Amino acid sequence: MTAADQTSGCQLSKLVQYKCKLGNDQIVCKPLARWFLRCPDRPTVEV
């Protein structure tokens, strides 16, 4: 089985979360992107 066979039918998904810190009288949030490979009949894996 080749790498292409293992990823056929898979979908790459992006999830954006925010990491926030408390600054001087304000909250500063920055985006944090997480990528996942979703394949049929297999668990979702973060890549």
pLDDT, tens digit (0-9, with 9 covering 90-100), for 1-44: 455 556 679 999 999 999 999 988 999 999 999 999 999 999 99
Q: So what's the pLDDT on residue 1?
A: 45
User: Could you please report the per-residue DSSP string of 25-44?
Assistant: SSEEEEEEEEEEEE-TTS--
DSSP for 1-16 reads: --HHHHHTT-EEEEEE
Closest CA to 38 of 12, 1, 5, 6: 12
